[in-house]
């Protein structure tokens, strides 16, 4: 039995809605329009008359269905945190003719953005009969500085075959009250926000302001991050595509390196704070001798250092390939360059180019010491990877995310991000995806698999291991 408990009150940005049950069951629920607007009318879900869906047994999701965050459990361990299962509900809180939806894309590009836009438009239109959908151009600031563009299934028909976002995007410029004024003035009542961690923080404050004003407007986030750095969810869309495309750069580096004497191929991949793309691209390739990520500190000189390892690999194998995430070695580099730190328009730290820096360091080391002649080739495929359309599996994933968002908003849920948790689509409250970042845990099995596949040094002292374990403990 589920006992509705404690923190149903909403306060400031801590709008937590928590339901607890027997055996340590906790549901971190998402807000609903009826939480702050009384006596809202409901309507039967139009899908029940849809020829395709009406024949599906149990098509509508049971209102009590929830998905556990942890699926590995022990006999006596508490059941732990759960999220509301995504999907169509029997009752909806919007009459389709009254819906005016809008879609905005914010932050950096990511393969699959256009697919999500397409499937929100087609989902609203074909499943719910909603035909008034606006595109907000150029990210958050487009709400108040640009005209809107109408979106129909015809207009978005083949956009999933193109990279980028047809709506344009931007960093910075998220003026919450101007955005909500624009939503209110235009009569928009469903807002679909596609973007990364920064965007979801923006979506959360937009939702807060909408709730404060008591507007019947559903706010749904669709998490976008090529870096896979969004917490809670299994994986972000575009990540698979990025790992696949990164193989082309790694292959090129490998071909170059093995064709010349003492060839060293260096490839820099995306990953500001999280090295998932570098880690998975390395594991997939098998041509990589060393992978460096932000989560795992490393050093260059001396015993167990990178230079010693490169020399060893060149002597053993005649060539080597190094893959690094853009956020790797930032502290090491800042120390050696005494660099001043800068930020982009969204407040993200602007990184120094670790690829160029490390390439120069490697060249200097081998030429200055007159150790051996090396031939180093540096490849930075960042924007070539980011700009491609999503692959087949990401296309399917984007479709399901978009449809989950549409079902959630139509059912009156708001202030949520859609996400895959243990293979099931869920609605996650904003605060859970914005409070921490998803990072590679260097004391987990996956990083151990990588170390054993490349045979690179771990560069870790026992102090580093303890520090990593402490950080993980803090997150729990």
Ligand X SMILES: O=P(O)(O)OC[C@H]1O[C@](O)(COP(=O)(O)O)[C@@H](O)[C@@H]1O
Q: Which of 326, 333, 354, 432 binds ligand X (CB under 6 A)?
A: 326
The single-letter DSSP state of residue 395 is H
Least separation in angstroms between CB 359 and Mg ion: 26
Torsion of CA 438, 442, 447, 453, to 10 degrees: 150
Extended beta strands in 212-313, E state:
218-223, 263-269, 290-292
Length of the chain: 476
Of residues 150 through 179, those in contact with ligand ADP by CB under 6 A are: 170-174
Compute the CA torsion angle 238, 165, 101, 13 (nearest 10 deg): 60
Alpha helices in 260-353 (DSSP H): 276-285, 306-317, 330-337
Show the binding pattern over residues 317-356: x = contacts ligand ADP (CB under 6 A), - = does not. Answer: -----------------------------x-x--------
| Subset of residues 372 to 391 that bind ligand X, contact rule: CB under 6 A | 386
> From the list ligand ADP, ligand X, Mg ion, none, which binds 227 (C-beta under 5 to 8 Å, kind-based)?
ligand X
Whole-Å CA distances, 60 to 49, 65, 354, 451, 464: 13, 11, 50, 45, 49
| Contacting residue, 107, 112, 123, 327, with ligand ADP by CB under 6 A | 107
Rounded-to-integer distance, Cα 454 and Cα 57, Å = 49
Catalytic one of 227, 229, 240, 289: 227
Residue 195 touches Mg ion, criterion: CB under 5 A:
no
Q: Per-residue contact track with ligand ADP, 44 to 83, x per CB under 6 A?
A: ----------------------------------------
Q: How far is the CB of 127 from ligand X (least distance, A)?
A: 29
Could you tell me if 443 and 167 are in contact, meaning their C-beta atoms sit under 8 angstroms apart?
A: no
409 close to 218: Cβ distance less than 8 angstroms: yes
Smallest distance from the beta carbon of 414 to ligand X, in angstroms? 23
Whether 227 is a known active-site residue: answer yes
Q: Is 225 in the site for ligand X (CB under 6 A)?
A: yes
Q: Which of 111, 123, 196, 223 binds Mg ion (CB under 5 A)?
A: 196
Q: Which region among 37-45, 68-76, 136-144, 222-230 touches ligand X (by CB under 6 A)?
A: 222-230
Measured between its terminal Cα atoms, the distance across the chain in Å is 26
- Interface with ligand ADP includes 196 (CB under 6 A)? yes
Span from 225-233, 299-307, 433-441, 451-459 in contact with ligand X (CB under 6 A)? 225-233
- Using rule CB under 6 A, residue 272 touches ligand X: yes
CA distance 292 to 275: 8
Alpha helices in 303-457 (DSSP H): 306-317, 330-337, 354-368, 382-386, 392-410, 430-434, 445-454
Would you state the structure tokens that stand for residue 127, as one six-digit string? Answer: 């499943």
Using CB under 6 A, list all residues that contact ligand ADP. Answer: 106-108, 139-140, 170-174, 195-199, 201-202, 205, 346, 348
Q: Which residues carry out catalysis?
A: 227
Interaction site with ligand X (CB under 6 A)? 107-108, 196, 198, 225-227, 270-272, 326, 344, 348, 386
């Amino acid at each position: 039995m589920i006992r509705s408990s404690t923190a149903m009150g909403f306060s400031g940005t801590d709008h937590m809605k928590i339901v607890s049950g027997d055996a340590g069951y906790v549901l971190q629920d998402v807000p609903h329009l009826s939480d702050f607007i009384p006596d809202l009318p409901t309507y039967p879900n139009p899908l029940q008359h849809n020829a395709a869906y009406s024949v599906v047994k149990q098509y509508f999701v049971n209102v009590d269905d929830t998905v556990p965050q942890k699926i590995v459990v022990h006999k006596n361990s508490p059941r732990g945190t759960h999220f509301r299962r995504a999907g169509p509900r029997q009752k909806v809180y919007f009459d389709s003719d009254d819906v005016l939806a809008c879609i905005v894309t914010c932050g950096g590009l990511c393969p699959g953005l256009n697919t999500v836009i397409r499937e929100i438009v087609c989902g609203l239109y074909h499943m719910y009969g909603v035909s008034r959908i606006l595109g907000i151009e150029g990210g958050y600031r487009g709400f108040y500085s640009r005209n809107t563009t109408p979106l129909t299934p015809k207009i978005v028909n083949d956009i999933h075959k193109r990279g980028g976002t047809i709506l344009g995007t931007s960093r910075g410029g998220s003026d919450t009250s101007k955005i909500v004024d624009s939503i209110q003035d235009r009569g928009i009542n469903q807002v679909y926000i596609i973007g990364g961690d920064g965007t979801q923080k923006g979506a959360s404050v937009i939702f807060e302001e909408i709730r404060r004003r008591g507007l019947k407007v559903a706010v749904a986030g669709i998490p976008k991050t090529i870096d896979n750095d969004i917490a809670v969810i299994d994986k972000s869309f575009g990540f698979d595509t990025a790992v696949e495309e990164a193989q082309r750069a790694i292959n090129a580096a490998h071909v170059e390196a093995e064709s010349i004497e003492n060839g060293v191929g260096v490839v820099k991949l995306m990953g500001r704070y999280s090295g998932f793309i570098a880690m998975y691209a390395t594991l997939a390739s098998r041509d990589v001798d060393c992978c460096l990520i932000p989560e795992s500190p490393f050093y260059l000189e001396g015993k167990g250092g990178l230079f010693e390892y490169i020399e060893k690999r060149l002597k053993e194998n005649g060539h080597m390939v190094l893959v690094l995430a853009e956020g790797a070695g930032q502290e090491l580099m800042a120390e050696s360059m005494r660099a001043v730190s800068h930020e982009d328009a969204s407040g993200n730290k602007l990184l120094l180019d670790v690829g160029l820096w490390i390439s120069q360091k490697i060249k200097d080391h081998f030429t200055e010491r007159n150790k051996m002649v090396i031939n180093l080739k540096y490849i930075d495929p960042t924007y070539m990877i980011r700009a491609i359309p999503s692959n087949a599996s990401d296309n399917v994933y984007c479709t399901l995310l978009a449809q989950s968002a549409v079902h959630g908003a139509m059912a009156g849920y708001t202030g949520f991000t859609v996400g895959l948790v243990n293979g099931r689509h869920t609605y996650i409250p904003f605060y859970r995806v914005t409070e921490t970042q998803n990072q590679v845990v260097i004391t987990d099995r996956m990083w151990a698999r990588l170390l054993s596949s490349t045979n690179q040094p771990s560069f870790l002292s026992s102090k580093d291991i303890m520090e990593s374990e402490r950080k993980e403990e803090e997150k729990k």
